């Protein structure tokens, strides 16, 4: 499937969060950003025929995209309403994704995945670098990780240090535009553009 076709399919079939919860930092990854990441991962041979975990899956855009590109997907998410939406999309698209309803930090897992995809909470109004708690926790169960982070210049610098401290080798990074839809009451603009940093990494 071509990148553009994937983007269109995701934008038509993946749901918004029905009731976005700020403490869980629920932001849907735009279809273009998801398709760019997945297309790249596919080119690196990290998707087709691979065991892929979509961690903090939300309504499932990364996992659904990976399944469309031929991965065997497990999706993990703490919020039941988001999971319902993910399941709706899977039914509609006739996709078979193994969905796990759990908090990542209490997940009893004994599986290993080829590839992990994750857009974790960044810790915007909470703990700085909260995303790195998620990355560190999940990095033991996968070989290759694709993670999405705040792409501000200062964060780019800190992340390269934090990844190294946590024993993760950064293999590739790129920046992408992340138009943020007005999803919470204090979002003044209808569409505000942020930059995100996508990191491909593995345990050093």
Which of 66/104 has CB closer to ligand SAH?
A: 104
Q: Torsion-angle region of residue 32: left (phi > 0), alpha (psi -120 to 50) or beta?
A: alpha
| 3-class SS of residue 105 | helix
Q: Rounded CA gap, 195 and 71, in Å?
A: 27
Is 177 near ligand SAH (CB under 6 A)? no
> Could you tell me the end-to-end alpha-carbon distance of the chain, in angstroms, rounded to an integer?
32
Q: Are strands 113-118 and 72-77 parallel, antiparallel or unpaired?
A: unpaired
Per-residue interface string for the shown chain with ligand SAH, residues 64-103, x marking contact by CB under 6 A:
-------------xxx--x--------------------x
Q: In the structure encoding, which two tokens stand for residue 165, read together?
A: 């401290």
Near ligand SAH by CB under 6 A: residue from 50, 53, 58, 65: 58
Are the C-beta atoms of 102 and 83 separated by less than 8 Å?
A: no
Which of 35/104 has CB closer to ligand SAH?
A: 104
Per-residue interface string for the shown chain with ligand SAH, residues 114-143, x marking contact by CB under 6 A:
-----x-x----------------------
Residues that bind ligand SAH (CB under 6 A): 24-29, 56-58, 61-62, 77-79, 82, 103-105, 119, 121
């Amino acid at each position: 499937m071509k990148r553009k076709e994937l983007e269109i399919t995701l934008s038509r079939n993946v749901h918004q969060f029905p009731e976005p919860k700020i403490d869980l930092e629920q932001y849907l990854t735009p279809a273009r950003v998801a398709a760019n990441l997945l297309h790249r991962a596919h080119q690196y041979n990290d998707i087709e025929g691979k065991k892929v975990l979509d961690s903090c899956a939300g309504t499932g855009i990364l996992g659904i995209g990976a399944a469309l590109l031929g991965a065997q997907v497990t999706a993990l998410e703490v919020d039941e309403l988001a999971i319902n939406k993910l399941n709706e999309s899977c039914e509609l698209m006739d996709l078979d994704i193994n969905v796990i309803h759990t908090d990542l930090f209490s997940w009893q897992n004994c599986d290993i995945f080829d590839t992990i995809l994750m857009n974790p909470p960044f810790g915007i109004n909470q703990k700085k670098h909260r995303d790195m708690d998620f990355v560190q926790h999940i990095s033991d169960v996968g070989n290759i990780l694709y993670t999405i982070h705040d792409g501000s210049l200062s964060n780019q610098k800190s992340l390269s240090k934090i990844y190294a401290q946590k024993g993760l080798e950064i293999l590739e990074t790129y920046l992408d535009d992340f138009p943020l839809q007005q999803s919470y009451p204090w979002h003044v603009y209808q569409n505000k553009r942020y930059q995100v940093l996508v990191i491909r990494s593995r345990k050093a």
